[in-house]
């Protein structure tokens, strides 16, 4: 049964069995993302609960333009970013005015994608939540620029700029930590 069929069946019958299918398929990944972003298992468990309730309550609004997984992950990232924001009570790079112009991204993807996993985790943990989320969306979830821009309600060029900056920060932190 495809994701779209599960959604249709759930919306028309409201049977829990269809919710269970979605939960069993995506809860592990959502939980892993929440742990990665919130850095705390208790907060991550609460986040999974809130995220899936939100998914169920807004499932009727899922238009099918993007994949269901993309839509679920977008809700997850936005929820975690909001949580971190509430805790820190400060404004993140997320809200920075980003110039809407053509972006030349000169950092090769393979430099980041082929990092040793342990080092990757350590460097990602030093980035702010927005930079970390945007790199995970692009390289872990293989979301398109259009999907990311829709998730954050930003223009595509603003997202490209954000990715470029996040990659530059990643390279900088990596170089400082592992300059051997």
- Which residue ranges make up the site for other proteins (CB under 8 A)? 14, 16, 19-20, 23, 27-33, 35-36, 41, 44-45, 48-49, 52-53, 56-57, 110, 112-117, 120-121, 124, 135-136, 139-140
Alpha-carbon torsion angle 18, 3, 160, 116, nearest 10: 80
Cβ at position 127, least distance to other proteins in Å: 13
Cβ at position 56, least distance to other proteins in Å: 5
* Nearest to other proteins of 19, 62 (CB atom): 19
* Nearest to other proteins of 53, 87 (CB atom): 53
- How far, in Å, CA of 46 to CA of 83, rounded? 11
CA distances from 89 to 39, 81, 92, 133 (A): 17, 12, 9, 18
- How far, in Å, CA of 124 to CA of 166, rounded? 10
> What contacts 35, CB < 8 A, 6 or more positions away?
41, 44
Cβ at position 91, least distance to other proteins in Å: 27
* Nearest to other proteins of 45, 78 (CB atom): 45
- How far, in Å, CA of 114 to CA of 24, rounded? 30
* Nearest to other proteins of 98, 137 (CB atom): 137
Cβ at position 4, least distance to other proteins in Å: 20
């Amino acid at each position: 049964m495809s994701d779209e069929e599960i959604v249709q069946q759930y919306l028309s019958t409201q049977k829990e069995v269809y919710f269970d299918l979605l939960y069993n398929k995506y809860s592990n990944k959502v939980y892993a993302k929440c742990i990665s972003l919130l850095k705390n298992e208790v907060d991550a468990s609460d986040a999974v609960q809130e995220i899936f309730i939100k998914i169920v309550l807004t499932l009727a609004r899922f238009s099918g333009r993007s994949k269901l997984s993309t839509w679920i992950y977008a809700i997850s990232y936005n929820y975690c970013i909001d949580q971190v924001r509430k805790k820190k009570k400060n404004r993140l790079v997320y809200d920075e005015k980003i110039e809407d112009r053509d972006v030349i991204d000169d950092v090769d993807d393979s430099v980041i994608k082929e990092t040793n996993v342990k080092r990757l985790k350590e460097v990602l943990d030093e980035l702010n939540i927005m930079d970390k989320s945007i790199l995970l969306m692009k390289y872990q979830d293989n979301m398109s620029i259009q999907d990311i821009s829709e998730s954050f309600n930003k223009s595509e060029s603003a997202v490209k700029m954000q990715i470029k900056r996040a990659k530059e920060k990643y390279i900088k932190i990596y170089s400082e930590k592992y300059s051997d």
